[in-house]
Structure 1
Amino acid sequence: MQDVNPSRLTGPPMRLRLGTTTLPMVGHVRMYVCGITPYDVTHLGHAATYIWADAAERVLRWHGHTVTVARNVTDVDDVLYAEARRRGESHTMLATLQRAAFEGTMATLQVRQPDLSPSAAQHIGHVVQLAAALLDRDAAYERNGTVYARTSHAYATTGLDRETALQRAAEFHDNPGDPDKDDPLDITVWQAATPDDEVSWPSPWGEGRPGWHAECAAMVLALFGASVDLHCGGADLAYPHHACEAALAEAATGVAPFARGWLRAGLVSVNGEKMAKSTGNLVLAEDLLREHSPGAIRLMCLNRPWAQPWEYSPAELDLAEATLEQLYAAAARLEAQPGAAAVPAALLDDLDVPRALAIALEDGGQAARTFIELLALS
């Protein structure tokens, strides 16, 4: 059900700018958010991405749009299976428990529950359909039960050179050295099963399972059709994941662009290194929530350009907590000021939270209250 004042629809046309892309919106907005692989705890880098996606959704809803958000769960993945083996438990149980923990953390951070929560395991049939469509269009080829998509061109859409793309493909386990590929940058849509595989499904090409990029492409196509209005995820997913996902969907449907706009949140680092389990520098969202308010964590993540990488430190969070207290004090002022309308206008302009915050603090009153409500900082 629409949860905004319909009178907002009668104002100037709503255009959301994200970077160099301006997105006029009409009525219904379709958002897809790359979700978690449910094998471990939620760190601040994950949380920041989902807080930004949530902020974009709230801005769109505030301006009178009905927004449908899908956030997937990648529950068919080698990393998940490996972690389950290490723990000595089933991958389905591990995925269920970690997904529940993640959703609890998101609820505490006031990230809206998505309207749709597809999982890769639920969409195996759609990946098979995607592979078949790509083969029909000669955008894919089959070797020894594996279906490969012709995606050697995809890296160009992200501004990378081929050498860097090859490095990224190896980093994300796309196996550029596979001798069955026509090109090292082609990606797997359907992977033939091996004797060591714990999970596989039937297909026209034999037992196997989907490739990661194909999972998201198939889920988007199944849920929203040939395109989405806004696709969200972390900046590290631009290539190969987002570029190959888009290439698969566009080749299968003939519709471009696959996504009208992209919101890729800047990466979070600690001590100069990207926050990741492999580097051992994780800052867990649940640990921060023990000592800090959800509003402060949200404000810390949002009070910067959305695409900008940033460095976490405890001082950053202390500053956000202090700024939030100033914001609450400003909101308590009763005098009328003109900034209330300027706050959502600033957020339409590249989700400019720092500018909107400056207006809220200076004008106070309704401007501050609008800022707090719109970005769920209470």
Structure 2
Amino acid sequence: MAARQLGPGVTDPTQRVGALPPPHPTLTLGGVRLGIVGAARLYVCGITPYDVTHLGHAATFVWSDLLAGLLRGTGVEARVCRNITDVDDVLMDAARARGRHYDEFALGQEAVFGQSMRALAVATPQAEPHARHHIGTVQQLAQTLLDAGAAYERGGTVWFRGGEVASGAGLDHDEALRRFADYGEQPDHPDKDDPFDVPVWQVSTDGQPAWPSPWGWGRPGWHAECAAMALAVHGGSIDVLAGGSDLVFPHHVYVTAMASAATGVTPFARATLHVGEVRLEGRKMAKSTGNLVLVDDLLTRCSPAALRLAILDRRYADPWEYRPDDLDRAEQRLADLYRAAGASSTAGTAGTGDADPDAALARVRDDLDVPGAVEVALATGGEAARRLIAVLRLGDAR
């Protein structure tokens, strides 16, 4: 029976002959069902380019890349914004110690970072804003927060009111203060109304970069840079905010609070991807402590695909205590996956038919359960293993 015509070029879908295609699969992330209409907007907290890429960096960006790829597999466009924080006091200090201008120094570090990401098959993001290109956007944010009563100006610095932000972060007062101080937030600064207020725009001293503003010469605050860049690229809200779990407080909660205070949109992010910190000998891997394992060094010991699998073959939110034999295990798991992909699929669990070729991917779509997906692929083999290798991009890392 032909479809009933309702108008020029329009038919009644209930009268179409033949089966409709199956709906696209959906993802869950941290208990949130990520149903997307149109495009998925991901904001990934990027690098401060003052040293080459370490394993902790790579973990965040490989996991974010996997999520973006999975979203594209559901039939939507994934728009990834991964920022470059190239106006930052730590960057200035590192450049000065090497006798370099911070702009020049940062660009060189970005180039090294880009090489590492390409080796690990991390796709180039659709947007890669730089803080120094968004000075005007930060000033717009500062004025908007002032107009909303969410900030105040004192001595050339615009302070965001953060008392309620800290109290709502789930930390006790002393722990929040400790973390605040660890990130250089100066809770005892005499110009603050509250220890948990943070600068949106701050006064620059001699030797620090400075731009003119309505409040005098100065530079952006760290959290304000990310909030401004996210708003500039994605608008008033995003689907996923991604970054390391160590950035949840204070960084992500303040980025979210500033964006929501400026736009009135709550929640700013529908879901979060907070990747567990990578540790070495019991301590968080960080540039500030020199407790690093560099990606370029690891790639002299293992294949890029094995390193990508070593990062992904675990629950994303769990801390990872890195050990050198993790690379050997990943190489073996990779070889096993390749062998499984070359084999015929085993029968279904009831022994009554072919195994589901989508079974492994279903595990990844359920809160990025890569370890579970690998086990399914190894047990099933064939098309299920081939599809998993493609989604994890283990054949693209080089």
Q: TM-score range by the shorter chain?
A: over 0.9
* TM-fit CA distance, 1:21: 2.4
Is the counterpart of residue 217 in structure 1 residue 234 in structure 2? no
* TM-fit CA distance, 1:335: 4.1
Q: Give the equivalent residue in structure 2 for 1:266.
A: 276
Q: Distance in 2 between matches of 1:156 and 1:12?
A: 42
Alignment of 1:168-179 (within 5 A): 168-179=179-190
Alignment of 1:103-182 (within 5 A): 103-182=114-193
**The one of 352, 362, 372 aligned to 2:389:** 372
Deviations along 1:27-66, one digit per CA (max 9) or x if unpaired, are 2101110000000011001001101001101111112110
In structure 1, what residue type is equivalent to 2:106? A
Q: 1:347 to 1:176 in 2, by over 3 A?
A: same
SS state at 2:299 partner: helix
**The one of 98, 102, 105 aligned to 1:94:** 105
Q: Distance in 1 between matches of 2:151 and 2:187?
A: 16
Q: Give the equivalent residue in structure 2 for 1:64.
A: 75
Give the stretch that moved more between structures: 277-286 or 297-306: 277-286
Q: Which runs of 5+ in 2 are unaligned?
A: 1-19, 347-353
**The one of 290, 312, 337 aligned to 1:327:** 337
Q: 1:14 to 1:271 in 2, by over 3 A?
A: same
User: Contact 1:266–1:306 (CA<8 Å) still a contact in 2?
Assistant: yes
Is the counterpart of residue 318 in structure 1 residue 328 in structure 2? yes
Q: Distance in 2 between matches of 1:156 and 1:339?
A: 48
Q: Distance in 1 between matches of 2:110 and 2:299?
A: 18
Q: Give the equivalent residue in structure 2 for 1:360.
A: 377
Q: Give the equivalent residue in structure 2 for 1:227.
A: 237
User: Contact 1:14–1:25 (CA<8 Å) still a contact in 2?
Assistant: no
**The one of 65, 73, 87 aligned to 1:76:** 87
In structure 2, what residue type is equivalent to 1:119? H
Q: Which runs of 5+ in 1 are unaligned?
A: 1-8
In structure 2, what residue type is equivalent to 1:364? G
Larger helix fraction of residues: 1
Give the TM-score normalised by the residue count of structure 2.
Answer: 0.90
SS state at 2:356 partner: helix
Q: Give the equivalent residue in structure 2 for 1:302.
A: 312
Q: Give the equivalent residue in structure 2 for 1:3.
A: none
Q: 1:172 to 1:301 in 2, by over 3 A?
A: same
In structure 1, what residue type is equivalent to 2:366? D
Q: Distance in 2 between matches of 1:110 and 1:159?
A: 36
Give the TM-score normalised by the residue count of structure 1.
Answer: 0.95
Q: Distance in 2 between matches of 1:83 and 1:295?
A: 32
Q: Distance in 2 between matches of 1:176 and 1:358?
A: 48
Q: Distance in 2 between matches of 1:141 and 1:19?
A: 35
User: Contact 2:38–2:77 (CA<8 Å) still a contact in 1?
Assistant: yes
Q: Distance in 2 between matches of 1:327 and 1:279?
A: 37
Larger Rg, first or second structure (1 or 2): 2
User: Contact 2:30–2:271 (CA<8 Å) still a contact in 1?
Assistant: no
Q: Distance in 1 between matches of 2:64 and 2:170?
A: 24
Q: Give the equivalent residue in structure 1 for 2:357.
A: 340
In structure 2, what residue type is equivalent to 1:374? V
User: Contact 1:14–1:24 (CA<8 Å) still a contact in 2?
Assistant: no
